[in-house]
Amino acid sequence: MEYLAHITRAPQVCGGESVIKGTRVTLRTVLASLAEGATFDEILADFPTLTTEDVRAVVAFAAASTEEDLPIHSVPAPRANQV
């Protein structure tokens, strides 16, 4: 998904936080709603300026961000006396 087509960031909008283009809805707000268990339909009802593609873009952005920001540590090998 081309998530960047849905996301923008400008110092004069929401203090420079990333938002859905054409809105003042922050990515943080959408992610928090999802983390609390809201469905896409509930988010769209709460924020009528958003589309399903906007919400999907937020999820895609978050997924891509974790790949860049969170190192995946390898699992340590068991010690000789551990089974």
pLDDT at residue 65, as a whole number: 84
Identify which has the larger pLDDT, 48 or 63. Answer: 48
What is each CA distance from 53 to 21, 36, 37, 39, 57, in whole angstroms? 12, 20, 18, 14, 6
pTM: 0.77
Identify which has the larger pLDDT, 48 or 69. Answer: 48
Rounded to the nearest integer, the mean pLDDT of the chain is: 88
Identify which has the larger pLDDT, 70 or 62. Answer: 62
Percentage of residues of the chain with pLDDT beyond 90: 70
The token pair at 57 is 């873009």
- Specify the fold of 3-68: Arc Repressor Mutant, subunit A (1.10.10)
pLDDT at residue 10, as a whole number: 93
